[in-house]
Chain A
Amino acid sequence: MDIHKKLELLSSAARYDAACASSGSQRMGPGVGAAHPSGICHSWSADGRCISLLKVLQSNHCRFDCAYCTNRASNNHPRASFTPEELADLTLAFYRRNYIEGLFLSSAVRDCADNTMERMLHTLRLLRRKHRFHGYIHLKVIPGASPELMQQAAALADRMSANIELPTRASLNALAPDKEEGAILRALQPVMPDRQLARRDGPLNPAGMSTQMLIGASPEPDLTVLQRAETLYRDQSLKRVYYSAYIPVNKDARLPAHRSSPPLEREHRLYQADWLLRFYRFEVSELLDPAMPDLDLTLDPKAAWALRHLEHFPLDVNQAAREELLRIPGIGLRSVQRILTSRRQQTLHAEDLHRLGVVMKRARYFLQDRGRYLGNVPLQEDHLRSALSGAKQARQLDLPFAAPTETSRMALTGEF
């Protein structure tokens, strides 16, 4: 099979993995390449997602038969594999032309975890040692691989990941009986340096680990999904959890019936909630509870929280503490920072706030200036709800696409 056909097959097979970050590493050295700490987006594909890495499978020959996966054994698709040499050469050729920051390498499991890992590590060794490549490498580790191989992987890759696939063990057992939750969680354990294996390639796994969950393939509500994420961040020290809207590629009785479109709005709200957990000091219990287990689709989770807690508002940006400022809809991390440094030098009034990046169209309902409330409707839930979500609904009616889209949707740039 020629390289063009292989690339087409093995990249379309890999595209359902959402991870695209190229940040968190400062690798450099003699040879070719240098990792950029904040990561760099090189392009955006037709689905609006950032392209930063050459994202491929080493091979799509799989002996597993996971219900949701395009590569499953029972699918009669063409199968192919890259040789480590051709993949290393391709990565370098793309890198030199500034198409990519590096390689994202995953694989289907043809025989066993160790052999599969070995083949991927061969590609990585060619890149790092033969070609002296210092660009970014994200390696998907195969759960069940031996600790020695995990050590070697950590010495060669910047980021490592293993997908927990589904929010609960029960769903994993139902949809992917070949996979075992314990093995996946063990693969996500931080790799400790082995004194024998001297640090010849630099720090181990400098960009940390990540994982991914399918959204909408199984019945769990957002509460379960986010509790799982919260646990993974806290107990496994993961850098990122990715949420991937389930795209039906197979017909299977275990999977939900076909929808008209994938749950993209729900995925978007989960990412917003994830950001609140990681940067805005929210806890899952503040966003959701068993009586209200799913995120509001019409309002972002921060605004939804604010509407449930109007007793905290309106605030004066000159007086409010950092924690309080972080809770105001329309005021993000950077604006909070700017408010804190600017208010040392002058009193901030309503007309000044847009210069600090505050989205006044939203924030005004939660602010006061010189004792005067800045909203143009009463500070009550029903009024604010329509003020905050009303404008968005009007816009959605204008869009020509069948799937609901929101032009402010984040691309997964991996920044932060």
Chain B
Amino acid sequence: MGPADLLQLVLSGLSVGGLYALVAVGFVTIHAVTGVINFAQGELAMAGALVAATLAGAGTPLPLAVSAGIAAGAAVGLAVDRATVWPALRRRRGGAVAEVVLILLTIGASIAIRGVALALWGSEPYALPPFTAGPPLDLAGAVVSRQTLWVLGLSAVTMVALALFFTRTQVGAALRACAMNRDAARLAAVSPTRMSALAFGLSGAVAGLAGAAITPVSLATYDMGLLLGLKGFVSAVVGGLGSPAGAVVGALVLGVLESLGAGLVSSGYKDAIAFLALIVVLLVRPEGLFAVARLRRA
């Protein structure tokens, strides 16, 4: 196994990690603003992937198809918020909703979304053409497909855009205010209901992008959301559930570990790596590798 092969594994690992990062950031955003762990996060990516693939297959130009996928992710995210989370949180004002109930609600949403996807698209895989056509590139001996670079690039750009959004815009500040202290935010004329919807919509859009970006590589199926969501969550936990930056690093680490594990050890158990990583982190450092001051909800 030469250095070029290793570089190849690392690069594809980083690319996959970028994907997980997009999903993980969505988790962290929703959790920060609403306190909910969105089990349907992976399904939002799946929605984006399938919508983009269907439109592209029907002749829509690729950028439009991908944009539609992003919109689809946002729309489904909003639907999950309105249909499950918001009614539950609204019912118990003051007291806390049982965590069990919230978890089960988003599980129910993820199942229902998967069922609808199965109904609309069946169980066969769908494809998207790569974002730019052409042979794989040669970087210092490592063979890297153009789509891999696209995913890396898109993830990086999205992260920067999100960071700017959260720190430089008023809406972003409102979201962060809601994450820090819901009631204080309400006093500052920030509507938690609207923020919750925004968090879900934004996370859905980012997830939709992730789904569309990975489809040229690994095809889109109705059940692709499950593992994607799980790995996004593991990344978020590894990074420390309160920190988006930590989630990104966690995701990149996970992606590289998976890639190295599949390439060097065994590809059958590739998915096991994420779970093992989760167990290790839970055992050794449950607050996450980057225990930044957590955004605690009041």
To the question of whether A and B form a pair in one complex, the answer is no
